[in-house]
Amino acid sequence: MKRDSGRRRVFRIPFSRRGLDRDVDAELRFHLEGRIEELMAMGMSRDEASVEARQRFGDLDSHRRELRAIDEEMQKMRQRLEFTDTVGRELKYAVRTLGRSRTFAAMAFVTLALGLGAAMAIFTILDAVVLRPLPYAHGDRLVALSSPVPGIKAAPVWGLARHEMYYFKRESHTLEDLGIYRTELATLTGDGGATQPERAPAAYVSASLFGVLGIVPERGRLLNPDDNLRATDTLDAALMSHGLWERRYAGDTTIVGKRIDLDGYPVTVVGVLPPSAQLPDYKVDLWLPLDMNPASPARSNHIFSVIGRMRRGVDIANAQRELTALTARFPTAFPNVYTPKMMEGTGFTTLVKSLRDDVVGSLVTKSIWILFAAVIVVLLIAAANVANLFLVRVETRRLEAAVRSAIGASRGALAVHSLAESLVLTGMAALGAIGVAWAGLHFLVALAPSDLPRLDEVHLGWTGFAFTIVCALVAGITLGLLPSLRGQVDLAMLREGGRGSTGAPRRLATRNILVTSQMALALILLTAAGLLVRSLRNLRGVHPGFDPTNVMTMSLSLPNGRYRSPQIANAFFEQLAARVRALPGVLSVGFGGALPLESSELCTGAVVDVPGPSGERSDCVQMMQVTPGYFETLRIPLRGHAPDWPENDRGGASAVVSEAFANRFWPNEDAINRGVKCCNGMPPFYRISGVTGPVRTHGLDRSPGQVVYFPMIPFARNPGIEGLPLFMRLVVRTAAGMSNSVLPAIRRAVNEIDPQVPISDIAPMEQLLAQSLARRSFTMMLLAAAAALALVLSAVGIYGVISYVVAQRRSEIGIRMALGARAEDVRGMVVRQSLVLAGIGVLIGLACALATTRVLGALLFGVSPNDPLVLICATLLLVILATVASYAPAVRASRVDPVEALRG
C-alpha cells in the first residue's frame, strides 16, 4: 500500500510495547558492541573492553528506562496525530466530494435538517413539559392527592378536605409533610385610590405548603401556622410574588410591613417570594393564609388541592398502599362526614399521583407523545429519502469505487470514506436542525394553547441538542454503512467500461423497500391527521346551545369589603346593566356566575320536589346565579320565563333549570312549576319558572350539563350558601361589528359607578369558543403539518425510485418502442409500476394505521379510530400522489428515442 513519506515512519515504529523495548535494546547493544570492538582494536582483551565500554556509557539500566519512556510517549503522540490526521483528511475529502455534487448534498441537507429540526422541536417540548421533573428540590418526591369517587359520575374526582390533610399528616409514615391550597382571584383595590383596581390570582395556602415545595422568601417571612389560625377570623397577612412586587409596587424595598387593600380590607404584607417560587399548576401573585385550625371539626368540603412530599426511598406504590389503608379508617375517625354506606356507594378513596403527572395531565402527555411519534415518523421518512439519495450516489460512483478498490483501497477504507461523507452531511444537517428547531419552537410556543402546562419552561437546551446529536449520529452511521452493506465492490465494472448493470436488481429491491415503507408511514400520519380533522369538524359542528356571535364578555368583581349584602351587590349589577343597556349598539346585557363551556366541575347536590318526604337528592348539579338578561343575551332558548329585575329585588323565589336537569327528574312530565331546593336541602324552595335548551356547559365534547340558575338575592340569602355574588361574568350582545367599540363606554360606566371594581378577562364569546378547542386544534395542526411533510417527502421518494427505474430500463423501453409500443403504453407502464409500489405501501400502512390510531383515543370526537372515510381519503391521496410523482419520469420514458436507446 503506497503512502506518502511523511507518514511512513509511523509504521516503522513498532506498535507493541515489547517491540519498543527490542528497538531500544538493539540500539544500545549496537553501541556497546561497536565500542568494545574499537577498544579491542586498541589492544584490550574482550573482557577489559567490555568493562571499559560499560563504564564509559554510565548507568545502562537507567538510560534504557529513560529511552523507553521517551519512545512510549513519542508513540502515543504519533498515534494521536495519525488519528486526527486521518479523520481530518477523510473529512476534508468528504467535504470536497460533497461540494462536487451540490444538488445531492443540498437535497439531503434540507431533508435531514427539516426532519431533525422538527423532531428536536417536539422533543424539546416533550422534555420540558412531560419528561423533566418539576422545578422543585427533589421534585420527584412530590405527589398530588385527590379523592376519586367513581360512584358519582358527573364529578368523579374530588379534592381533599382540611381535616383529611391533618389526618394524613398525623398518621402517615410514607409522607414527610403535606401542604394544602386553593386558588382564587383576589381583588387588589385601590390602595387609597393611588392605583387601579386589579384582579390578582391568589392561593389560599397552609403554612406547611412552603416547606413541601421548598420555597424560601426573598424578603420578609413566609406564612406560618398562626396566620392559618388567625385567618379563621380575619385575613391579616399576605405574601406576594416577585412579579407582582416589581410590577405593581415597583420593587419597593420597604414593602414588608406595609398594608395593601385586598377586597376592600387592609392586609399586611409579610414577605416577597423569589421569582422562581410558584405553584406547580397555576401562577399566583398573592399567597394568603387559608383559614384552618387543626381543632376544627371535620367538614365535608372536598375542594382543596393537596401536595405531599414522600420520605426518601418511598415510592408512589408504598404511599398509595398506606393512604388507601388510612382512608378506609375515615368512617371511624370522622363519623359525621363519612359513613360506610357513603364510602361504598361512591367508591371514595384517596389517590396518590406523582405531582408531575398530575400537573401535566394524561391528555396533554398523550398529545405530546403522539406528536413526538409523528415527527419521528417524519424523520424516518426523511432518512429513507436520504438513504435513497445515497444509493443513487453509490450507483453513480460505482466506477470510482471500483477504481479505488483496484488500486488497493480495502473495503474498510471505502466504508470509511462513505461514513465520513454521511457524517459530514448529517453533522451539517444537525446544525441546520438547531436553526429549524429554534424557529419552530418560537412558532409553536406562540401557537400553543395558553393553558398548556409548563409552557414557560420550554427552551432549547442541552437535552434537545443531545437528542439531535444522537439522532444525527445514528442516521449518519446507518447511511454511511448502507453502501458497504450492499456487498462486494464490483470489479467487473472496470471491464465493462462503467456501464455494467450487475447487482442492479438487488439495489432496486432495497430502494423499493424504502419507498414502500415511506408510503406506509405517510399513510399512518395521514390517517391520524385525518381523524383529528374530522374530530375537530365534528366539534365545530356541535351546537353549543347559545349564539356566540356579537357577544362580548368580561369579568367584574366587587370588593367584598364594601359589598356586604346581596342587595348592595344586586344594586350595582342592576345599575350597571341599565347603563350598558342604554349604550348605542348594545342589544342586551346580563350577568352570570359563569359562562357556558367554562363551567367548573364543582357541583353540589340539589333537592327536587318529587313525591316522598324529603325529595330526591341529585348527584351533581351546577348551581349558578344569573341576573335577568343572561339567557336573552346569550340567546339560550328558554321555555317559560326567567325572573326579571323587579322579581329579583322582591326576592321572588323562582329558578330556571337546564333541559338535562329537567329530563333527569321529570323525564316525561313538564318541569315547570315543580320545585327545587338548593344544596343541603335548606329552604327556600324555588318554583321552576323556565327550562333552557341544551347548553354545552362543560365544553363542546361533553353532554349538556345539569344546571339550576338561581336569581341573585334570594340565593345569596340562602343559609346553605357561602359568599355573595361578587364575581360575575358580564355578557353584552351588540349590533354586528360593535362588540369592541362598546368596551370603552362599559369601562367608563363601571368606573363611574365604582372606581374600585376591576374589569378583567375581556374576550368575545366566539374567542372563548375557539379557545375551548385550542388544545385539539393545536395537536391537529401539528399532526397535519407532519402529515403534509411526510406526503411531500414520500412524493420525492417515489419520484426518485421511478426515475431510477426508467433510467435502468431505457434500452428495454427502446426495444418496446421499436417494436411498436405507443407513448401512452409506456407511460402507463411506468405509472403502473409506481402504483404497485404505492399499493403495497398503502396496504401495509392501512394495517399499521388500524393497529395504531387507537392511541388517539380521547383526542377523537364523534369518529371511530377506524373511520372508513378517513382511511379511504388517505389511501386515495397517496395513490394520486404516487401517480403524480411518477408522471414526469413516465413522460421521460415515453420520449425515449428507440435508436438512441439501443445504440447507447
Partner 1 sequence: MASIPDLDLLRGTLDLLVLKTLSWGPMHGLAVLHQIEDVTGQRLQIEEGALYPALHRMEQRGWLDAEWGYTERNRKAKFYCLTAVGRRRLTAELLKWSRYTEAVGLLLAHEGAR
Which residues are at the interface with partner 1 (CB under 8 A)?
9, 12, 23, 26-28, 30-31, 33-35, 56-60, 63, 66-67, 70-71, 73-74, 77
Between 12 and 499, CB nearer to partner 1: 12
Between 56 and 459, CB nearer to partner 1: 56
Q: How far is the CB of 69 from partner 1 (least distance, A)?
A: 9
Report the run of H or E that residue 237 belongs to, with start and end: strand 237-240
Which of 876, 891, 899, 882 shows the shortest CA–CA distance to 828? 891
Between 84 and 502, CB nearer to partner 1: 84
Instruction: Find how far residue 197's CA is from the centre of its chain.
Output: 35
Between 27 and 82, CB nearer to partner 1: 27
Between 26 and 406, CB nearer to partner 1: 26
Q: How far is the CB of 27 from partner 1 (least distance, A)?
A: 5
Cell numbers for 575:
345599575
Between 81 and 578, CB nearer to partner 1: 81
Between 71 and 164, CB nearer to partner 1: 71
Q: How far is the CB of 61 from partner 1 (least distance, A)?
A: 10
Instruction: Find how far residue 233's CA is from the centre of its chain.
Output: 43
Q: What three-state secondary structure class fits 526? A: helix
Name the residue type at position 147: S
Q: What three-state secondary structure class fits 758? A: coil
Between 61 and 722, CB nearer to partner 1: 61
Between 23 and 140, CB nearer to partner 1: 23
Q: How far is the CB of 74 from partner 1 (least distance, A)?
A: 4
Contact in structure between 391 and 510 (CB atoms under 8 Å) = yes
Neighbours of 499 (CB within 10 A): 8
| Widest Cα–Cα separation across the chain | 143
CA 270, 273, 277, 281 torsion-angle sign? positive
Q: How far is the CB of 87 from partner 1 (least distance, A)?
A: 20
Cβ neighbours of residue 526 under 8 Å, at least 6 residues apart?
A: 787, 790, 791, 874, 877, 878
Contact in structure between 188 and 338 (CB atoms under 8 Å) = no
Q: How far is the CB of 17 from partner 1 (least distance, A)?
A: 16
Q: How far is the CB of 276 from partner 1 (least distance, A)?
A: 55
Residues found in the chain: 904
Between 73 and 825, CB nearer to partner 1: 73
**197: cis peptide before it, omega within 30°?**
no
Q: What three-state secondary structure class fits 150? A: coil
Contact in structure between 868 and 850 (CB atoms under 8 Å) = no
Q: How far is the CB of 55 from partner 1 (least distance, A)?
A: 10
Report the run of H or E that residue 228 belongs to, with start and end: helix 225-230
Q: How far is the CB of 96 from partner 1 (least distance, A)?
A: 27
Cβ neighbours of residue 177 under 8 Å, at least 6 residues apart?
A: 169, 208, 211, 212, 308, 309
DSSP state of 857: G
CA atoms within 13 A on the CB side of 45: 2
Q: How far is the CB of 480 from partner 1 (least distance, A)?
A: 34
For the chain, state the CA radius of gyration: 39
Between 21 and 140, CB nearer to partner 1: 21
Contact in structure between 290 and 180 (CB atoms under 8 Å) = yes
Q: How far is the CB of 487 from partner 1 (least distance, A)?
A: 42
* Alpha carbon distance 888, 759 (integer Å): 62
Between 8 and 100, CB nearer to partner 1: 8
* Alpha carbon distance 856, 845 (integer Å): 16
Between 33 and 752, CB nearer to partner 1: 33
Q: How far is the CB of 14 from partner 1 (least distance, A)?
A: 11
Q: How far is the CB of 4 from partner 1 (least distance, A)?
A: 14
Contact in structure between 711 and 669 (CB atoms under 8 Å) = no
Between 75 and 350, CB nearer to partner 1: 75
Cβ neighbours of residue 613 under 8 Å, at least 6 residues apart?
A: none
Between 62 and 336, CB nearer to partner 1: 62
Cβ neighbours of residue 704 under 8 Å, at least 6 residues apart?
A: 545, 658, 659, 660, 694, 695, 696, 697
Angle at 497 between CA 491 and CA 499, to 5 degrees: 90
DSSP code string of 51-110: HHHHHHH--HHHHHHHHHHHHHHHHHHHHHHHHHHHHHHHHHHHHHHHHHSHHHHHHHHH
Between 64 and 259, CB nearer to partner 1: 64
Neighbours of 664 (CB within 10 A): 17
Q: How far is the CB of 457 from partner 1 (least distance, A)?
A: 53
CA atoms within 13 A on the CB side of 816: 18
Between 29 and 247, CB nearer to partner 1: 29
Q: How far is the CB of 473 from partner 1 (least distance, A)?
A: 34
Q: How far is the CB of 45 from partner 1 (least distance, A)?
A: 16
* Alpha carbon distance 426, 418 (integer Å): 12
Kindly list the distances between the CA atom of residue 731 and the CA atoms of 315, 591, 690, 700, in Å, as whole numbers in the listed order. 49, 6, 20, 19
Quickly list H helices, 397-503: 398-406, 411-447, 462-485, 492-495
φ/ψ of residue 23, rounded to 5: -60, -50
Q: How far is the CB of 385 from partner 1 (least distance, A)?
A: 47
